[in-house]
Amino acid sequence: MVEPLLDIKDLDVRFSTSEGETRAIRGINLSLNPREVLGIVGESGSGKSVTALAVMGLLAKNANVTGSIHMGDRELLGMKDRQLSSIRGLKIGMIFQDPLTSLNPVYSVGWQVEEAISAHQDLSKEKRRAEAIRLLELVGIPRADDRVDDYPHEFSGGMRQRVVIAIAMANNPQIILADEPTTALDVTVQAQVLEALQVAIDQSHASLVLITHDLGVVAGLASRVVVMYAGRIVEIGTADAIFYSPAMPYTHGLLGSIPRVDDDGGARLRQIPGSPPSMIGTQPGCPFAPRCPLRKDICLTEEPALRSVSSTTGTEAHQAACHFASDVVTMPLASMFPDTSDDHEEPPQ
């Protein structure tokens, strides 16, 4: 058993808002191994980004965080800002969702990469600049030595995201957190940015936490996948287990809502009915129960714990939070949710 790089225990994040206390993260346990790519998927508001920001200590001031986040033998939670800034960028790099706003408009991109370097390394001016150009070249910016003095507004969205990736990998961190790195980008640019991300983790030998709602992105890169719903981890397993034998109805629903290239083109996407529960207050039972087609009485009263799935797939690390996980795992994919195409153009028999 390898020592995990990052160990999150009983993480709980609450935000006090005017409407009451919002529990964004409800007791999650998660560990990240060296040199792995961990995908975190879930819909908006499921707590993916909040988890990453909690690790970085970048949550808003009204956040109340409990639990523990260990990196090596250091506890990151409750650390002073000054100590945290010696970890941010050096041990953990982060990539944000919107490349159009995540670079400072008044400094050149080279300056911003150099700043990331000089925050943790003592290099001469020339070496720093050379290093910045090298990093920009690595992430695939053409004519990097020419463009290093350009400003962010002179770059396209995809190019800017590469700059952000160069900043995140500047000090060869052990962990790179990528929070929806391709969401704001054109589909054609996404692949290039993912490639740059792959270069970044290869170069810095970092583990990558890839947060996204796009299962396609996860399928290409991740070795392990975490599915989050309503601030909880509802399923965790190898990418194969999650994609080929999901044990949680919500994961089924997510997979069923992806368009496939190998179907005949006539099948409609199956959607998950309803919407995620409110994050204010606590309802008893399974958070997914109101939307679940397999709902039984127990689902409404008792919240299922995250348990190993005793399954035919034989992967012991496959865990799911469902009372009927062992049944769900044997069900064929995408059969669980009703096909909603009935009320549309069904040809008359």
Q: CB of residue 168 vs another protein: minimum separation in angstroms?
A: 8
Task: Return the ∠ at Cα 121 (arms to 136 and 3), rounded to 5°.
Answer: 90
Closest contact distance (angstroms) between CB of 91 and another protein is 9
Find the shortest distance in angstroms from Cβ 310 to another protein: 41
Residue 326 in tokens: 């062992």
Which residue, 147 or 323, is less far from another protein as judged by CB? 147
Nearer to another protein, 151 or 243 (CB): 151
Contact positions vs another protein (CB under 8 A):
56, 58, 81-82, 85-90, 93-94, 96, 98, 101-107, 115-116, 119-120, 149, 151, 153, 164, 167-168, 170-171
Smallest separation (angstroms) from another protein to the CB of 262 = 38
Residue number with CB closer to another protein (105 or 332): 105
Taking the least distance from each CB to another protein, the nearer of 171 and 251 is 171
User: At its nearest, how many Å lie between another protein and the CB of residue 169?
Assistant: 11
Q: Helical H runs in 31-124?
A: 48-56, 81-84, 109-118
Which pairs count as long-range contacts for 183-191, CB under 8 Å and 24+ apart, including other chains?
A: 183/97, 183/212, 183/213, 183/214, 184/97, 184/98, 184/99, 184/100, 184/157, 185/99, 185/157, 185/158, 185/161, 186/157, 186/158, 189/156, 189/157, 189/158, 189/161, 190/217
Tokens 């053409």 identify what position? 142
Nearer to another protein, 169 or 247 (CB): 169
Shortest Å distance, C-beta 209 to another protein: 13
**Which 3 state secondary structure label does DSSP give 333?**
coil
The minimum distance between CB 174 and another protein, in angstroms, equals 14
Nearest to 328 by CA among 312, 314, 315: 312
Q: Give the pairing of strands 74-75 and 63-71.
A: antiparallel
Task: Name the residue nearer to another protein (CB basis): 64 or 101.
Answer: 101
DSSP lists the bridge partners of residue 224 as 38, 238
Beta carbon nearer to another protein, 52 or 241? 52
The angle, 0 to 180 degrees and rounded to 10, between the axes of the packed helices 187-204 and 157-168 is 10
Q: How far is the CB of 93 from another protein (least distance, A)?
A: 7
Helices (H), the chain: 48-56, 81-84, 109-118, 125-138, 144-147, 157-168, 187-204, 215-221, 239-244, 249-256, 297-301, 325-328
User: Least separation, in Å, of the C-beta of 167 and another protein?
Assistant: 6
For another protein, the closer of residues 118 and 326 by Cβ is: 118
Percent of residues in the chain assigned helix, strand, coil, to nearest 5: 30, 20, 45
For another protein, which is the closer residue by CB, 141 or 309? 141
Q: Which two tokens stand for residue 177?
A: 């957190």
